[in-house]
Structure 1
Amino acid sequence: MEAVTAWLEAFPPMVIYLIVGLIIGLESMGIPLPGEITLVSATLLSVKGIGSPWGVAIAASAGAIIGDSIGYAFGKRGGRQMLERLGRRFPKHLGEEQLIRAEGMFARWGTWAVFFGRFIALLRILAGPMAGALKVPYRKFLIANASGGLVWAFGTVWVIYWIGEAAERWLSRFSWAALGLAVVAGIATTLWFKHRAKKALSTAHD
């Protein structure tokens, strides 16, 4: 994460927003990229005054919603064969085992898999293409996709931003410690979101 943060820091805010939206959008289309790490890193930079949390959240939401919709269109047109081709190209992330797991999640949870899948690495990559391949009605998909993308992006950004800002105030004389605490808080927040997403999916199934 530190490497991503240092890399983003070299760019002006508008370019950072574009990078955040692009990486998250490509990830949502089915390409394994560090979307979540990029989101957290850009948020930590906004704590330091580089860019705005609003800009980061809006860019992340747009990337998630648009990317998932494009992935849905690709999946609907290419079907499971397209996902299998992606799996051969990215066997570690999109191999047969991952596809079977994702199909199982859709079979159990339906469109809830799209909403809460935003918080789970496997479904964050496969939700759009998988929903298209399984012929999920686009209207239902779009509602789940948009609401999940907004909650994930704005929720993650603002929780990390508020924690990081508080750390900066309390530890202003030790900026390295504040940044370290913010990173730890960001990781903890991400893990909490993942836990809540899995729990909610289980509840929806029951």
Structure 2
Amino acid sequence: MHHLLHQFGLAGLFLAIFGESFGIPLPGESLLIGAAGLASKGQLPIVAVFVVAAVAACLGDNVGFAIGHFGGPRLVNRLAARLGIAQDRIDHVHERVRRHGAPIVVIARFIPLLRQLNGISAGAAGMDWRYFTAANAVGALLWAGVWSFGTYWFGRFLHVPRWLRHESAQVAALIVGILVVAMILAWLRTRREERVS
């Protein structure tokens, strides 16, 4: 992973996240963590890592939205079959997007598979593009911020043995990401309970 970042730098990070965001099986999130780890050692500028990740995620999801919008569910199902994704998982993603709209677009950024099919499903489900773009931007900024700045902070300021630093940064960033998702889910549950009562 690190050799890819050393060879292609921020351009490689952009392409990996961009492609992953509309369904291509690329290690975008892993490369983001790796890039932030390199930034913590002074080898990459952390703000550039964050900006590249957020922009690539936003643009990639919008490509996915266009694929879903113009291709419809049939094209989405065909693409998923080629990528080896089971039909029931696709139906599950579509149903989540239809039922929860913007919140699921935000949360999907942090969940494998949902992250890759987020834009495609929103487009196929007929979500309004402006609504999707706003929610997608929030999700991309949160996701890029958690993984880039979280990994950077722990890699730079957590004093652990050298051989543990990379793994510690990943674990710490994962914990931060889980906490963010847990807070969002708790907020959604509260809102749902308020609507029912």
Pick from 155, 171, 181: which aligns with 1:184?
171
Cα 1:180–1:131 change in 2 (3 A) is closer
- For 1:112-127, list aligned pairs within 5 A: 112-127=103-118
Q: Residue by residue, what CA displacement relative to the aligned partner does 1:154-194 show, whole Å, maximum 9, x if unpaired?
A: 23211221111112xx34xx422333422332333344344
Contact 2:5 2:13 in 1 (8 A): no
2:102 paired with 1:128: no
Quote the residue 1:21 is aligned against: 14
| Number of equivalenced pairs | 193
2:65 paired with 1:72: yes
Q: Residue by residue, what CA displacement relative to the aligned partner does 1:74-127 show, whole Å, maximum 9, x if unpaired?
A: 111101111111121112xx3202111102211321121111211111221111
Contact 1:116 1:201 in 2 (8 A): no
Quote the residue 2:131 is aligned against: 140
Counterpart secondary structure, 2:67: helix
Contact 2:102 2:135 in 1 (8 A): yes
Contact 1:84 1:95 in 2 (8 A): no
191-200 vs 53-62, which deviates more?
A: 191-200
Alignment partners' CA distance in 1, 2:75 and 2:187: 30
Query: For residue 16 of structure 1, what is the amino acid of its counterpart?
Result: G
Alignment partners' CA distance in 2, 1:202 and 1:21: 34
Paired-residue identity, %: 32
Q: Residue by residue, what CA displacement relative to the aligned partner does 1:37-57 show, whole Å, maximum 9, x if unpaired?
A: 111111111111110111111
Contact 1:70 1:128 in 2 (8 A): yes
Gaps of 5+ in 2: none
Cα 1:177–1:22 change in 2 (3 A) is same
How far did residue 128 of structure 1 move?
0.6
Give the root-mean-square deviation of aligned CA atoms. Answer: 1.9
Cα 1:63–1:200 change in 2 (3 A) is farther
Q: TM-score, normalised by structure 2?
A: 0.88
Alignment partners' CA distance in 1, 2:93 and 2:190: 18
Pick from 34, 37, 60: which aligns with 2:30?
37
- For 1:75-114, list aligned pairs within 5 A: 75-91=68-84, 94-114=85-105
Alignment partners' CA distance in 2, 1:200 and 1:18: 36
